[in-house]
Structure 1
Amino acid sequence: MEGTLISSKSYPGEENIDLNQITLRPLNLSDLDDVMVWTTDEKVTNFCSWEPHTSKDDGINYIKNIATKFLWCNAICFNDRAIGCVSLSSSSPHDKSRNKTAELGYVLGSKYWGKGIATCVVKQVVKVAFTEFPHLERVEALVDVKNVGSQKVLEKAGFQKEGVLRKYLFMKEKSRDMVMFSVLSNIT
């Protein structure tokens, strides 16, 4: 799904970001140089399950293999340059009791943090989720308790905080407490 996100708010700073210039589209190999900017950034990957990429081969693998494994995955683009990625994954594709849930994930280049982009994208993806996958009743997101910025994004996008899952995930050599957020289809 490609489309302009709703908002015309601009922000001063290094680059003037008009949220109307933010679009979503599939990741392509032609995005490799842009993808490498944020996949090699330790600030960006700090809360991701993967380590910072160290070679273009890592980036090619991300675009060709990893991004295609999601239920839905698009590049977050500014002026058609991939500045991040947003995805929906099936929580339990083989568990019929949970296949009405999708998990939201997103990553955005640190240069673009704090400009309203992630919130705008999350709102758009929730609409996509419940439109393109009408069987879904719930979109959820798990966020590290220390990732306060991402928690604010979800709250601003209409997600409800459900609680903290203590030592829920073992990632990057340590157990992490995660905060569960969700939005339901009948609320959108």
Structure 2
Amino acid sequence: MDENTAISSKPNSKEQRIDLTHISLRPLHLSDLDDVMVWTTDEKVPKFCTWELYTCEEDGINFIENIATKFVWCKAICLEDQAIGCISLTSYSEHDRCRNKSVELGYVIGSKYWGKGIGTQAVRLAVKAAFTEFPYLERVEALVDVDNVGSQRVLEKAGFQREGVLRKYLFIKGKTRDMVMFSVILTDPHV
């Protein structure tokens, strides 16, 4: 199978193939509101996220106009220019001068697109963009809930190294969670 083409995770599935060359990253626009509402109102999507399920269009508008603009870098994950998810980079350098050479990667994709290679392709594109657009960067890291095995596989397939488990690291949705730290650094051979 070509690296740019993924087949459904179910070998006997009748689902059509997704050509991963049709995956792109671009800025989010207010015109993406209907697409954003599809994945932000999907009960499966925010399970491991810090945000709660969106309940109205005002939530989506707020995300596009206010929340997404606060990231160092935030793009829509698009299939044929339809926003099926979002990927972002966050920097803590303004608060921690020792970490000014790294950013944290975060991403979310509508559940209908899980297991098709889209997340891996989007992460690869984002890492390439991060090291190109921010030449001072040496590291891109990602924190994943220990129970979010799918997201861990996405990062591994995209070339991230699993560094270890951070026990009781984040308090999310009323519970302290163990998180797995992943990273890719500029000198890694695949970057």
User: TM class by shorter-chain length?
Assistant: over 0.9
Report if aligned partners of 2:6, 2:117 keep a CA contact under 8 Å in 1: no
Aligned pairs for 1:106-117 (under 5 A) are 106-117=107-118
Counterpart of 1:180 in structure 2 is: 181
Cα gap change, 1:113 to 1:143, in 2 (>3 Å)? same
Q: TM-score, normalised by structure 1?
A: 0.93
Deviation, 1:38, is 0.3
State the aligned residue count. Answer: 183
| Residues 1-188 of structure 1 mapped to structure 2, 5 A cutoff | 7-11=3-7, 13-187=14-188, 188=191
Aligned partners of 1:144 and 1:8: how far apart in 2? 27
> Deviation string for 1:36-91 (max 9, x for gaps)?
00001121110110000000000000111111100000000111110000001103
Change (3 A) 1:177 1:139: same
Unaligned runs of 5+ in 2: 9-13
8 A contact 1:7–1:20 mirrored in 2: no
Shift of residue 124 of structure 1? Answer: 1.2
Q: Output the CA distance in 1 between the equivalents of 2:63 and 2:132.
A: 27
Task: Give, in whole Å, the separation in 1 of the partners of 2:125 and 2:155.
Answer: 12
Structure 1 residues 100-121: Cα deviation after superposition (integer angstroms, max 9, x where no partner): 1100000000000000010011
- Secondary structure of the 1:76 match is strand
1:17, distance to aligned residue in structure 2 (A): 1.3
| 1:71 partner amino acid | V
Sequence identity of aligned pairs in percent? 69
8 Å contact kept, 1:22–1:76: yes
Question: Structure 2 length as normaliser, TM-score?
Answer: 0.92
What per-residue deviation string (whole Å, max 9, x for no partner) do you get for residues 123-180 of structure 1?
1111111111011111000000000000001011111111101110001010100000
RMSD: 1.4
